[in-house]
Structure 1
Amino acid sequence: MSQWRWSGGGTLASLCSTLNQDQPGRDGSMASVLLAPRRYVQGDGAVHQIGTHAARLGRRALLIGGGRALAACETAVADSLGAVGLSLHVERFAGECCDREIERLAAVGRQEQADLVIAAGGGKVIDTGKAVALALALPIVVVPTIAATDAPCSTVVVVYAENGIFDRYVQVPHNPDCVLVDTGVIARAPVRTLVAGMGDALSTFWEADTCARSGRTNPLTGSQAPLRTALALARLCYDTLLEYGVQAKRAAETGGVTPALDAIVEANTLLSGLGFESGGLAGAHAIHNGLTRLPACHDRLHGEKVAFGTLVQLVMEGRPDAQVREVLGFCRSVGLPVCLADLGLARASRADIRAVAEAATAPGESIHAAWFTVTPERVEAAVWAADALARGTA
């Protein structure tokens, strides 16, 4: 076992650790839990304030980021930290959140005697940073330079094999100490990443609603029932996407920060992050994990696969036609995938989709949060049905 791993590692079901699992009440029920970062900062130019927030946490920072992320924020981070007397070592992320990379970066942190981790970039580098902070028992500041996933605010680390296939979930003991989102940086990032973030956020309400209906334990909190606050945040996330998604995409195409873009960044990052973690995951993310088994869609972003997974979940659950078509229409309006061809899987075989379904229904997968028994056959049928629905309404 890798030295960095938290004992909560494994399938989603195994994430309940003694650290965040509540004791049953007198009637045997579990208390409800809301998880959130200690500090959330969002605004145009916010990265220039990072020194003020980081100084509360440490003096020797290890900054981890990919090439584009460092180009977008390294100078501002270095200047802001230097202004308050913090030292900085910068290490480039190799590209995959896998055991080898986590252990390499943790070794760098030890060598540099870092007492603070800063992770700048997208979901994979952020998750890697959370794992490195866990390995070194250090606080972490998360600086998303794209709004492509809801990873920044959560305790979840999604670990992949070096070839990009989903491996396991790991839950770190607490949410990030600070999440700092510069909307100006986000606005200048590739538009596709913002849209992918909407795809990830799209699943939040529907997965939380499934968990609330089933009453099954949320492995991330140990709760059987989400708080009304978590469900309200998930619903606000969905409503924000419908209201501002198209406007935000247009703003991002010009590189400008507008109220619509600001609202979508908040939805993709904060509302979705709090909503999924405290509301629960269900079918959409399990379908995503299954899709990683097919090399043909490895170039698709996380949120793009989750968006299609949301459609599959709704079809599998037998949701009303109006709800399915509302989600389908939203995906089309912002350019999210709605069928297998959109994911590069136009030639997917029955065996391919069967492999996706079997991976999505592995023991401990989030798809089993449903209020009914989920089988590979049921998932396989839903994938083909969702694909046919999208193609038939093009």
Structure 2
Amino acid sequence: MIKNLNVKVGPQFYRYSKDAILLVPEILKEYQVKRILVIHGTISWKKAKPFLDQALNQEWEIIYEQYNGECSYNEGNRIAKIIAENEIDFTIGVGGGKLADLVLYASHLANIPFGIIPTLASNCAPFTSLSVMYKDNGLSEGRLEFVNRQAAFLITDPALIMDAPVRYFIAGIADTLAKWYESDLILEQEKFQQEPFLQMKRFAARMCKETILNESKKAIEDMKAGVISEEFLHVSEIIIAIAGLVGGFGEQYSNTAAHAMHDAISATLKEVHPYLHGEKVAYGIFYQLALEGKWSTIEELIPLYKELNLPKSLTEIGVYPMSEHTMKSIIQFINDNPEVHLLPLEINEEILTQTLIQLEQYISR
């Protein structure tokens, strides 16, 4: 039995359905809430506010605060200070992944419960107990903040998710696809075959892959048409929740080379900042598969990548060729990530460098 396995299953209450946001008051009464801080973004907030206004009434004192667009240490401390100064006893985050991460981190600093109302199906951030940290200028800190608390609720309405940009949905599809490819080689090892939570993790990761490959094309078409179909519901819920379970059932066996590459280029190259999290992870999936020597799997995925306009190489992103110094910084960043070394492979800076170059050559041929 693995003694250091961290299991953080998910929010204490989850609902994804029509009018689900009307259930928020029930949760707030459970926590005997008096003063609420609602943290929100800009564009998505205009669409989400009517949903929240319908749910919340004069029973609570509510303060609204717009965040600066990044989950940074400075912003986390700023929000925590607002919480303390206003004697807030519950925070609600309304927005995308970075906002969900910020609300988790700030609520952790302030030691109060929080709830999340996602407005995008772009990643599993609302479901997880970690925050991906960025600098105030948008570059990655290359650090994750893990906490031992999760949301009191994750509640949202498919109509709200449907009304988001399709590009974010596609990025969420790519980020979710990574759940299988990052954990496959690790969890197929015999030593993990009798680990119940890791096998639950593997089952959830397989569900992510199969749903994405079988239903994402139809889900995207329906989203573009404004149709809340079964496929759209399946795929969006897989992105928001089931992908979060993959991490929850075995935290440290979740994000390996694909996310390590995302973190490395996000921390090193300001040119990649316009790309969404899932778009960068999409390239990271190919890097991981190249590291494992699974070129045939890359071939199988190329048609999907072309259809969804996902980047297959750093050349397509526009940052390769690069200087030797820049490449060395990226490779060192990846090699310093301990989770990359969970892969049952020989991994060092030379191998990581060769893999990057080989992938660029393979995709460009």
Partner of 1:343: 317
Q: Is the 8 A contact 1:47 1:180 kept in 2?
A: yes
Distance 1:166-1:210 versus aligned 2 partners, 3 A rule: farther
Q: Is 1:281 the counterpart of 2:255 in the alignment?
A: yes
Q: Is 1:245 the counterpart of 2:219 in the alignment?
A: no
Distance 1:215-1:274 versus aligned 2 partners, 3 A rule: farther
Q: Percent identity?
A: 24
Work out the CA distance in 1 between the residues paired with 2:138 and 2:185: 28
Partner of 1:230: 201
Q: Is the 8 A contact 2:8 2:129 kept in 1?
A: no
Work out the CA distance in 2 between the residues paired with 1:344 and 1:182: 37
Pick one of 242, 254, 261 that aligns with 2:232.
261
Q: Is the 8 A contact 1:60 1:116 kept in 2?
A: yes
Partner of 1:378: 351
Q: Is 1:100 the counterpart of 2:71 in the alignment?
A: no
Deviates more, 1:256-265 or 1:39-48: 39-48
Work out the CA distance in 2 between the residues paired with 1:342 and 1:384: 14
Q: Is the 8 A contact 1:281 1:369 kept in 2?
A: no
Q: Is the 8 A contact 1:291 1:356 kept in 2?
A: yes
Pick one of 5, 11, 14 that aligns with 1:40.
14
How many positions carry a matched residue from both structures?
Answer: 358
Tell me the SS of whatever aligns to 2:30. coil
Compute the displacement of 1:268 (Å).
0.8
Pick one of 124, 129, 137 that aligns with 2:103.
129
Compute the displacement of 1:163 (Å).
2.6
Cα shift readout 1:150-182 (whole Å, capped 9, x = no counterpart): 111101111112232322111111221211132
Deviates more, 1:234-243 or 1:200-209: 200-209
Q: Is the 8 A contact 2:44 2:164 kept in 1?
A: no
More helix, by proportion: 2
Work out the CA distance in 1 between the residues paired with 2:156 and 2:318: 31
Compute the displacement of 1:79 (Å).
3.0
Q: Residue type of the partner of 1:390?
A: I
Partner of 2:39: 64
Q: Is the 8 A contact 2:80 2:106 kept in 1?
A: yes
TM-score normalised by structure 1 residue count: 0.84
Distance 1:48-1:72 versus aligned 2 partners, 3 A rule: farther
Partner of 2:157: 182
Pick one of 239, 258, 270 that aligns with 1:295.
270
Work out the CA distance in 2 between the residues paired with 1:376 and 1:108: 44
Partner of 1:333: 307
Q: Is 1:50 the counterpart of 2:24 in the alignment?
A: yes
Distance 1:60-1:326 versus aligned 2 partners, 3 A rule: farther
Tell me the SS of whatever aligns to 1:37. coil
Compute the displacement of 1:146 (Å).
0.9
Q: Is the 8 A contact 1:166 1:289 kept in 2?
A: yes
Partner of 2:339: 366
Structure 1 stretches lacking a partner, 5+ long:
1-24, 218-222
Q: Is the 8 A contact 2:187 2:198 kept in 1?
A: no
Compute the displacement of 1:32 (Å).
7.4
Work out the CA distance in 2 between the residues paired with 1:116 and 1:216: 42
Distance 1:360-1:49 versus aligned 2 partners, 3 A rule: same
Compute the displacement of 1:210 (Å).
3.0
Pick one of 115, 119, 131 that aligns with 1:157.
131
Work out the CA distance in 2 between the residues paired with 1:79 and 1:113: 24
Pick one of 71, 80, 83 that aligns with 2:55.
80
Tell me the SS of whatever aligns to 1:82. coil
Distance 1:298-1:214 versus aligned 2 partners, 3 A rule: farther
Distance 1:346-1:250 versus aligned 2 partners, 3 A rule: farther
Partner of 1:15: none
Q: Residue type of the partner of 1:329?
A: P
Compute the displacement of 1:235 (Å).
0.5
Distance 1:86-1:356 versus aligned 2 partners, 3 A rule: same
Partner of 2:364: 391
Structure 2 stretches lacking a partner, 5+ long:
none
Q: CA RMSD in A?
A: 2.4
Q: Is the 8 A contact 2:108 2:149 kept in 1?
A: no
Partner of 1:12: none
Work out the CA distance in 1 between the residues paired with 2:323 and 2:120: 34
Work out the CA distance in 2 between the residues paired with 1:283 and 1:31: 20
Cα shift readout 1:70-121 (whole Å, capped 9, x = no counterpart): 11212321331217x2332110011111111111111111222211111111
Distance 1:113-1:303 versus aligned 2 partners, 3 A rule: same
TM-score normalised by structure 2 residue count: 0.90
Tell me the SS of whatever aligns to 1:169. strand
Work out the CA distance in 2 between the residues paired with 1:106 and 1:215: 45
Cα shift readout 1:320-377 (whole Å, capped 9, x = no counterpart): x432222333222322211223323255344433322221112x44212211232222
Work out the CA distance in 2 between the residues paired with 1:29 and 1:54: 36
Compute the displacement of 1:244 (Å).
1.1
Compute the displacement of 1:36 (Å).
2.0
Cα shift readout 1:228-263 (whole Å, capped 9, x = no counterpart): 211101100110100111111112222331111111
Q: Is 1:193 the counterpart of 2:168 in the alignment?
A: yes
Partner of 1:306: 281
Compute the displacement of 1:60 (Å).
1.9
Work out the CA distance in 2 between the residues paired with 1:70 and 1:227: 37
Q: Residue type of the partner of 2:264?
A: G
Distance 1:365-1:45 versus aligned 2 partners, 3 A rule: farther
